[in-house]
Structure 1
Amino acid sequence: MNIQNAGEFTPFSPSLHANVETIRNRFGGSTDIVIRMFRSDAAPDREVAIIYIDGIVDSETVNESVMEPLMSMKLPPHAYVKGAKLLEALRSCVVSIGSVQVIEGLEQALQYLTDGLCVIMADGSAAALTADVNGGEQRSVTIPQTQTVIRGPQHGFVENVRTNISLIRRIIRSSDLHVQMHKIGRQTHTNVAVLYLHGIADEGIVKEVYRRLADIDIDGVLESGYIEEFIQDETFTLFPTLLNSERPDTVAAALLEGRVAVMVDGSPMALMAPTTFFTFFQSPEDYYQRFDIATFVRMIRYGAYVISIVLPALYIAVTTFHQEMLPTTLLISLSAQREGIPFPGLVEALLMELTFEVLREAGLRMPRAIGPAISIVGALVLGQSAVQAGIVSAGMVIIVSFTAISNFVMPEFNMAATSRIIRFLFMIMAGMFGFFGIFISVLFMLIHLASLRSFGVPYMSPMAPGPTKQGPWRDVFIRMPWWAIVLRPLDLNLRNPKRRPNGKKPPAQRHSDKA
């Protein structure tokens, strides 16, 4: 299946010079278009041309596997054919590249050239050959920049979709791993790959991914975020309905669970669908260390997420409307801190939160050499100075700081960003209605979460619409031992729901003490 805009078909001319001139004109005489014309010993009575774009091909491969064989090798007597079959003879007996195709249209040649292939043309033949010589300067595989772990694989995706697919192939060495490449974008013709495990992924979900990709009509796709906004179920929601990752092991684990992955050329982030709310609280490291430690850390993440949303709102509600709920000693201490503060609790909290968001953004955008200095200046100088100047209270600085630290605990950045926005809504409701406003906000958030879908899968599964046989505790809140995790997530409608035959612990091996 190939997703691209259907264009006109212009057949090649038998004249080599006419074809070369047409290609040169279509590229506007660009200086990076390399056109090498010569006469080959393989076809001494014909002029041959090699065309490629400098910088996106491997020049060494072009010279050694294409140009040198064409200029030095001769066809065997039985293979030398004149006329239309000349290119087929060159493909079979001369060009030593694994992937060589015959094309017959000018638009195909232009597309393959921009994809990093070279085009071979011969005078008198109304066709051409394409050889895969893709290369050029690219970023090598390095440690993931945004999703680091202490224990686990230390390699991440790069901007080359072929390299990313090969990283998945090295983990899942099965013929059931199906990869379909598509092109999206009328101008960029970006390669978009869809990966899934045949026999595990639901065919309905796979077809739905293809359908949504086929409906995309845009000039260009520069990053996977373009694709995400087109294929997600719900646009007007703060919660992400697609999981993204730059880690090959995370994508491989999602494929083994029955999910579908989408990779975009030019982006180190892969998209995975369908996903649920609880997936964003799971780190790859949870499955590489002991289950009891992983469960403890996962519970901390859930608690930190709740704190990052509710803590400032609770502080505002208590100090503004419900002072009687505080112990007398604590109430006196907070009242003494707020003595002389010119702003109510809501304005004070909004001022501090907005200041922290500005500092966070400044730290991200500044050069790495001075980025940490921005954080130090913001945390120490501004915070301490604001308290001494009587603009904010010391308690509010503690609340905002702990809220920010709790936000950093989230393993997925897009879910952490969601809590940053929701926090402001909770603070406003708490400043207007107290605990009642917080209760209404939580209720509306839960109703909204329960209404979301990710490619037809309930976003709050397996908690809502109801627990499955697997139950909400196994690998949602508690990470069970690997030998006890028998079933894959049942909300994906799997045809092959079992990871292993049973949930019994394998017998321990007894070693002999004999020498």
Structure 2
Amino acid sequence: MDKQESIKKSKEKITETFADAFDVVSRSMQAGDAKAHLLYIKSLCEESALKQFIMIPMFETKTKSDYETYLRSFPDSLETDDVELMIQRVVEGHIIVFLDETIFLVDLKNVEASPITDTQLEPIIQGPQDAFNEKLITNLNLIRNRYHSVHLQVDVQKIGKRAPSDIAVLYDHQLVDKKLLAHVKEKLSRMDVDMLQSITQLHKYLIDYKWSILPTLVITERPDRVVKNLAEGKIILLDENSPTAMIIPSILFDFLSSMDDHYQQLAVRLFLTSLRYLAFLISTFLPGLYILFVAYNPEITRIQLTLTIAGTRLPVPYPAIVEILFMLLILEFLIEASARLPRTIGDAAPTVGGLILGQAASEAGLVSNIMIIIVSAIAISSFVMPVNALGFSVRMIKYFVMALTFFFGYIGFMISVLGLILFFANHRSFGKPFFKLWNKEKEVPTT
């Protein structure tokens, strides 16, 4: 079979594959002795670029050899005769250019992405305010503009059987743990998933313990946080359709640190970090401590505080566990409502719900006044954590502490504390100990 006959059969097979697609364009062009047939999906391709880089040059060259030379020199073109590759690239936004004896794939993908905006999930007071968007090349630009090092390596792997997505693996090859890098790439290559809609989906496929309530990897929208972790020898994953990045590995300190800390003086940074650890302890153990003081060991506190708590609980007909569960569940409902409601009314839900329900429950004698203070302290403390993933875990862990304290009193509370310490100490993020409370600063390497 000669070359022209092979190209004809390839064109017929590809045209037949996309015969029923409404937005597939198949058209022929001729200028002088140059003839070409184009096939592309117009909803994926940038038609202005198609006109500028494919159509106009053909009418300017007018000869088959000159046009073919131009396409070979085009930076985003690929010469191929692999039909399966051509079909796959068409649905990714490439244009197929059929010539008499050659087939070219030209990348003119048009990615509709939101502009670079200020951070929404991790706002800070000082420092850069820009965040990632849904375009992979833009996110790489944001990182490379901050990390000016020749050692920054970017590898791309395709993940997904039905609709493959490009996953970029970023690392500094001088600082990265080579064994960890090989392990991450192996996990990505063995991943059995139909499609990925977001980088956050990778989390459940990469971790070894599917039912662990502790987060293992930090998901961030901040380029400066990514650059900081690259300088520490960590691995970054980016998805072509996701405005966030994944950091591998991640420790407890990463979840309790904010990028604001790195733009402050050391004393201020230590103070703010200490506040976050204190908030973490309060939101985790305060509900259990309340049950312990009220139901089992009121003599632990000063007599004035004990009498005050007892006085406020006189009209409450339920034990402490029912009282605090009632208020915590209301709090959980308010948090979920504020997250799911439209933004125009979402901010009003926790304010109105907290004020009205809290005051009404207290006046009705369903909960004590001290309980309103306790729940408010728990809510405020949980909001202090800069990474939401750890906040979700704490919202679950505190019920474990409450249950043990309710059933076993002081002994149960101590068992929950020791159990959580052992659980955190045993937790790993890609082989690295999770229970690490501080990171040594490293300077970003320069070229």
Name the CA distance, whole Å, in 2 between partners of 1:341 and 1:179. 61
- The match for 1:111 among 88, 112, 131 is 88
Name the CA distance, whole Å, in 2 between partners of 1:207 and 1:57. 35
Name the CA distance, whole Å, in 1 between partners of 2:147 and 2:69. 33
Alignment of 1:26 with 2:14, yes or no, is no
Answer yes or no: is the 8 Å Cα contact 2:160–2:193 preserved in 1: yes
Name the CA distance, whole Å, in 2 between partners of 1:402 and 1:99. 57
- The match for 1:311 among 286, 289, 297 is 286
Counterpart residue number, 1:510: none
Q: What is the Cα deviation at residue 18 of structure 1?
A: 4.4
SS of the aligned residue for 2:115 comes to coil
Counterpart residue number, 1:38: 29
State the one-letter code of the partner of 2:22.
Answer: T
Q: What is the Cα deviation at residue 167 of structure 1?
A: 1.2
Matches within 5 A, 1:79-478: 81=65, 90-93=67-70, 97-123=74-100, 125=101, 127-461=102-436, 475=440
State the one-letter code of the partner of 1:299.
Answer: S
Counterpart residue number, 2:48: 60
* TM-score of the aligned structures, taking structure 2 as reference length: 0.94
Superimposed CA distance per residue, residues 323-365 of structure 1 (whole angstroms, 9 cap, x where no aligned partner): 1122222222211211121211001111110111011101111
State the one-letter code of the partner of 1:258.
Answer: G
SS of the aligned residue for 1:35 comes to strand
Q: Percent identity?
A: 31
Answer yes or no: is the 8 Å Cα contact 1:12–1:19 preserved in 2: no
Which deviates further from its counterpart, 439-448 or 129-138? 129-138
SS of the aligned residue for 2:162 comes to coil
Answer yes or no: is the 8 Å Cα contact 1:313–1:438 preserved in 2: yes
Answer yes or no: is the 8 Å Cα contact 1:152–1:288 preserved in 2: yes
Gapped regions of structure 1 (runs ≥ 5) = 1-10, 82-88, 464-471, 476-484, 489-497, 501-515
Name the CA distance, whole Å, in 1 between partners of 2:294 and 2:6. 85
SS of the aligned residue for 1:224 comes to coil
Name the CA distance, whole Å, in 2 between partners of 1:72 and 1:20. 25
Which deviates further from its counterpart, 379-388 or 89-98? 89-98
Answer yes or no: is the 8 Å Cα contact 2:7–2:103 preserved in 1: no
Gapped regions of structure 2 (runs ≥ 5) = none
State the one-letter code of the partner of 2:57.
Answer: P
Which deviates further from its counterpart, 295-304 or 54-63? 54-63
Answer yes or no: is the 8 Å Cα contact 2:26–2:40 preserved in 1: yes
1:282–1:91 Cα change, 3 Å: farther
State the one-letter code of the partner of 2:110.
Answer: G
1:310–1:151 Cα change, 3 Å: same
1:499–1:16 Cα change, 3 Å: closer
Answer yes or no: is the 8 Å Cα contact 1:246–1:269 preserved in 2: yes
Superimposed CA distance per residue, residues 299-318 of structure 1 (whole angstroms, 9 cap, x where no aligned partner): 00000000000111101110
Write 1 or 2 for the structure with the bigger share of helix: 2
Answer yes or no: is the 8 Å Cα contact 2:111–2:135 preserved in 1: no
* TM-score of the aligned structures, taking structure 1 as reference length: 0.82
Name the CA distance, whole Å, in 2 between partners of 1:499 and 1:36. 51
Q: What is the Cα deviation at residue 91 of structure 1?
A: 4.5
Superimposed CA distance per residue, residues 67-112 of structure 1 (whole angstroms, 9 cap, x where no aligned partner): 111233234xxxx55xxxxxxx634335774221111111111121
